[in-house]
Structure 1
């Protein structure tokens, strides 16, 4: 009968944790990917895109308010983390992306925003000077190339400088989402509670977006009526509830938990599936055509995400490992707070 060593048990727990993390990342991508399908009918019904973003973040902040009250000591302990998460991961991504859409095509803006996994990998390799595997880099390249096919970048490229900078700003803010979600992952009991970080991040994001979106100009009567989804009337309030509860609360919770179990660069590549999911859902629910290049690109994104998440850790010099800190995906030490 084989004997299970401490190392084999540790590897088994690490493998199980990575499997759970991958599942959470997929749920997060599915939830985030469904936001556009629900938001587009509301925008077509008469709501301003920034007002939809504000309703999304403010509604999620209200839902997570009991969690914020429970972790009311967190702002005193980690004010910089909460402020950064709210400004970058919540308000920054949304505001920059929607501002970019007003100047450049949707496909171009989406592709630039989802360069975030490559930027995360560059941050880890060149700023933090930590090793990454060739498989992880290959996964990022494949995912970015497949994403270019999914959004069909060649169909409407625009070189508006400000629009490209805004889309790049969204990508940088998304890097902040992955990196900040990883904060304190190896701190044990001292690690900030991820639900508390999300709750206060949504509160900060809602305050910032209030100044940007000016919700006092919102046409509230739209929410009392219905919106058309591929010719079918759907209650506007039901779409808003989906955006708040699923596409925001569930998406952020599962996304942050997945980064804690994987790594920023791996979770970032898996998040590219959001574009594939959004395209498929738009095809099924909104009747938008899915071309052959988009199908091929979606398959390439899937391959790239799989390669990245299954990559072995990069080789690092042998050194003693402190208690409570098993080696994590693609790198030795994690980002410190």
Structure 2
């Protein structure tokens, strides 16, 4: 991979992480005003899809054949990468603590390493294993050691489904584009996901509620749609479009490890915008995650990490008494 392409991919991945990380600080006022998590994520997905729609149309410029050729990627991104992952996460947190659900979902990079191992029948190189250990250890420290606890096994299973969906997101994003621009995949996938989540909400399986009055955002009274628009544009539209572009360049494995920085970014924005404290353990955790990413990146030039290797493609806040907003990430 050319160094210029790698640099572009790393920049896109970091933009995605930072964008996702802003979501928690802006979703929190909606949740405190009476929005349910499912209502917030449905509204942000639909709004983000509509925001991206003009860019989708411009990128395609009438080349609808590209969208048709990529129909399975679009369906996979919308139904699995976004809607299924979101629904599984919110179903999980009805049974287990938020921190535990987040920890399990962000094990997605390990699932990708295991998938590559199973499909290629080659043990991951030492640097990948080292990076996995460092990254997961750092994730535990950033989210909080309290996430490691015995809880409802059904809730754990549902959270693991969310991890599978998160891994699928990176795999689908890293598939060969076949003429479909990343922004088109992001926009069409988000629109589809928003519609599906809205339909799920009508079943009553997940609580759906929203309020439409003024609310407080950083001690300023604003209309309800202000934080929603920020989350939709920055924390969703920009985040998904740049994340998909990054996965296409870097491969799903490296992109997924970089994606762990979302929890670090969310904690930093909670500190800067909401005044929430950062603990020494979180700083250590962030450093470990960076170390893990560096280890995986050092092995990134190996053939098994390339997007075309062995047929394996490398690819909202929830208030809780035990969950600081720093645990809120943009992908969920």
TM surpasses 0.5:
yes
Q: Which stretch shows the higher mean deviation, 30-39 or 280-289?
A: 280-289
The count of residues paired between Structure 1 and Structure 2 equals: 307
| Residues 1:287 and 1:92: Cα distance change in structure 2 (over 3 Å) | same
Superposed CA deviations along residues 239-293 of structure 1, whole A, max 9, x for unmatched, are 1111100111100111011111111100100000001111121122222222221
Q: Which residue of 2 aligns with 1:265?
A: 253
Would you say 1:92 and 2:84 are equivalent positions? yes
SS of the equivalent of 1:227 reads strand
Distance 1:315 1:67 in 2: 34
Q: Which stretch shows the higher mean deviation, 261-270 or 283-292?
A: 283-292
Distance 2:276 2:247 in 1: 32
Distance 2:44 2:159 in 1: 20
Distance 2:300 2:158 in 1: 35
Q: Which residue of 1 aligns with 2:244?
A: 256
* TM value normalised by structure 1: 0.83
Q: CA deviation at 1:234?
A: 4.8
Which stretches in structure 1 are left out of the alignment for 5+ residues? Answer: 1-10, 317-326
Q: CA deviation at 1:236?
A: 3.0
Q: 1:126 aligns with which of 101, 118, 126?
A: 118
Where does 1:219-238 land on structure 2 (aligned, <5 Å)?
A: 219-222=210-213, 225-229=214-218, 231-238=219-226
Q: Which residue of 2 aligns with 1:7?
A: none
Q: 1:62 aligns with which of 50, 53, 71?
A: 50
SS of the equivalent of 2:64 reads coil
| Residues 1:335 and 1:129: Cα distance change in structure 2 (over 3 Å) | farther
Answer with 1 or 2: which has the greater Rg.
1
| Residues 1:25 and 1:215: Cα distance change in structure 2 (over 3 Å) | farther
| Residues 1:134 and 1:330: Cα distance change in structure 2 (over 3 Å) | farther
Distance 1:139 1:84 in 2: 28
Q: 2:107 aligns with which of 103, 110, 115?
A: 115
| Residues 1:155 and 1:266: Cα distance change in structure 2 (over 3 Å) | closer
Q: CA deviation at 1:125?
A: 1.6
Q: Which residue of 2 aligns with 1:303?
A: 291
Q: What RMSD in Å do the two structures reach over aligned CA positions?
A: 2.6
Q: CA deviation at 1:16?
A: 1.7
Distance 2:13 2:7 in 1: 10
Q: Which residue of 2 aligns with 1:3?
A: none
* TM value normalised by structure 2: 0.84
Q: CA deviation at 1:101?
A: 2.0
Distance 2:84 2:282 in 1: 28
| Residues 1:128 and 1:181: Cα distance change in structure 2 (over 3 Å) | farther
Q: Which residue of 2 aligns with 1:182?
A: 174
Would you say 1:287 and 2:287 are equivalent positions? no
Which stretches in structure 2 are left out of the alignment for 5+ residues? Answer: 315-332
Q: Which residue of 2 aligns with 1:32?
A: 20
Would you say 1:169 and 2:161 are equivalent positions? yes
Q: State whether residues 105 and 157 of structure 1, in contact with CA within 8 Å, keep that contact through their aligned partners in structure 2.
A: no
Q: Which residue of 1 aligns with 2:321?
A: none
Where does 1:141-220 land on structure 2 (aligned, <5 Å)?
A: 141-154=133-146, 157-184=149-176, 190-214=178-202, 218-220=209-211
